[in-house]
Structure 1
Amino acid sequence: MQRIPEPELMDDPIQAAAYAAADFAEPHNMFVEKFREIFPEVRVIGKVLDLGCGPADVSIRFAKAYPDCLIDGVDGAKAMLQEGTRQLKRENLADRIRLIQGLIPDIKVPEKQYSVIISNSLLHHLHDPAVLWRCIKNYSQDRTIIFVMDLMRPQTTQVAEELVNTYSGAEPLILKQDFYNSLCAAFTPEEVQGQLSTAGLGQLNIKDISDRHLLVYGRR
């Protein structure tokens, strides 16, 4: 099926609260586990940039997995960051994770370059995916680890509906609709490969890691 873009920001407070309360333990734990699996020798020290951090769930899990790092989490949606701020206080991680509101690629972050740049479920929100790869190039340096996980678009709307029923069956209707819209807005691995080549990041690897997720990883 053809891609159907969705709104770039999830800035409705009700939508943000529902998203923050949802159970994303399986994919978000997979994010951290895949990072460890692919970079087993890396001890993450210093500053990490998390693009599209949302309510900071992935940032929190990453910070717990790598206790020597500090994370700058960026998101364009104020409502999402408000949820994230509350979660950081509950987890006592406000001293290690800083949340910044801004739109890529014109964000203003404290560091000129980061040794690790991560992103989860941002790419499919972007009407112009090139802005993500441009932002990653702007804030990376030689040997920066780049690790981007996102949904991948299924072949048909029927498959998208089946995925929603399989993985969001118990979630509120608003989340089911969000998930369906996100699947329809996601890119295929072939499309992402083309984006990377155009951006001058063709050295990065891309692979399917589940029936609905793809992963882009490697070093600058």
Structure 2
Amino acid sequence: MADAEQSLAYANADFASSNQLFVDHLLVDNPQALKDVIDLGCGPCDVMLRLAEACPDIRITAVDGSAAMIELAAQAVRAANHEARIVVMQGYIPGLALREHDFDAILSKDLLHHLPDPMVLWREARRLGRQGAAVHVMDLIRPATQEDARNIVETVAPDEHPILKEDFYNSLCAAFTIEEVETQIRQAGLPLRVTRVGDRHMLIKGALR
């Protein structure tokens, strides 16, 4: 989402339920304190702001490839007074200028379907995570047909901005099936499991060995 209008439409959309679902699952699966985490594809940073509110001692590196989106994320972090705990940076995977094995959690929500090569996410998770690091990735599940995708858009977001509705439709069509993601993580050699959560998302989670 390099386009400023597109990024703003996304930032103004109501993703509260799925964003909170992501955080709730993360906290249930990782009851121990999370300290140093990275969010790949942070968008406007709503998910990480929710996580920061729930975990007062957490340190978050929030990454997105879009300069327009990173500016919106930085504004949101400043408004929430979380600049000391959330660092936002523009960058792309692979190739982030970050130290290897430096994080105890690798997080990502709704990035996987945007990647031309989804394997880069799984390789970057292994590169950035410490041994035992939590991997927690949520993404859309591709509907069976394009008509099903249109119906989901009109059911979930009937009153959203037309730009957002078209992006949502394109994202649903670009998403993977659960079986496809299971194949990806087997090829990556990662000990992760894939489950359906909610009505249109999958959750990929586990710990690095």
Q: TM-score range by the shorter chain?
A: over 0.9
**Which residue identity lines up with residue 204 of structure 1 in the other structure?**
L
**Runs of 5+ in structure 2 lacking a partner?**
none
Out of 79, 88, 103, the residue aligned to residue 114 of structure 1 is 103
Kindly report which structure 2 residues correspond to 1:199-210, keeping only aligned pairs within 5 A, or say none.
199-201=188-190, 203-210=191-198
SS in 2 for 1:99: strand
Out of 68, 82, 103, the residue aligned to residue 92 of structure 2 is 103
Offset of residue 110 of structure 1: 5.6
Give the equivalent residue in structure 1 for 2:33: 43
Cα distance in 1 for partners of 2:81, 2:13 equals 20
Cα distance in 1 for partners of 2:159, 2:25 equals 26
Cα distance in 2 for partners of 1:95, 1:169 equals 37
- Kept in 2, the 8 Å contact 1:100–1:109? The answer is no
**Which of 109-118 and 67-76 deviates more?**
109-118
1:24 aligns with 2:15: yes
Offset of residue 111 of structure 1: 6.4
Kindly report which structure 2 residues correspond to 1:1-220, keeping only aligned pairs within 5 A, or say none.
10-39=1-30, 41-44=31-34, 46-109=35-98, 112-201=101-190, 203-220=191-208
Offset of residue 87 of structure 1: 0.6
Offset of residue 38 of structure 1: 2.5
Cα distance in 1 for partners of 2:73, 2:49 equals 9
SS in 2 for 1:216: strand
Offset of residue 34 of structure 1: 1.2
**Which residue identity lines up with residue 43 of structure 1 in the other structure?**
A
**Which residue identity lines up with residue 145 of structure 1 in the other structure?**
A
SS in 2 for 1:175: helix
Cα deviation code 1:27-51 (max 9, x no counterpart): 1011111112323x3222x211101
How many residue pairs get aligned? The number is 208
Higher relative contact order (CA 8 A, sep 6+): 1
SS in 2 for 1:43: coil
Moved over 6 A (4+): none
Offset of residue 109 of structure 1: 2.5
TM-score w.r.t. length of structure 1: 0.92
Percent identical pairs in the alignment equals: 44
Cα distance in 2 for partners of 1:109, 1:91 equals 25
Cα distance in 2 for partners of 1:97, 1:36 equals 18
Offset of residue 19 of structure 1: 0.8
**Runs of 5+ in structure 1 lacking a partner?**
1-9
TM-score w.r.t. length of structure 2: 0.96
- Kept in 1, the 8 Å contact 2:140–2:201? The answer is yes
Cα distance in 1 for partners of 2:90, 2:101 equals 17
- Kept in 2, the 8 Å contact 1:48–1:117? The answer is yes
SS in 1 for 2:94: coil
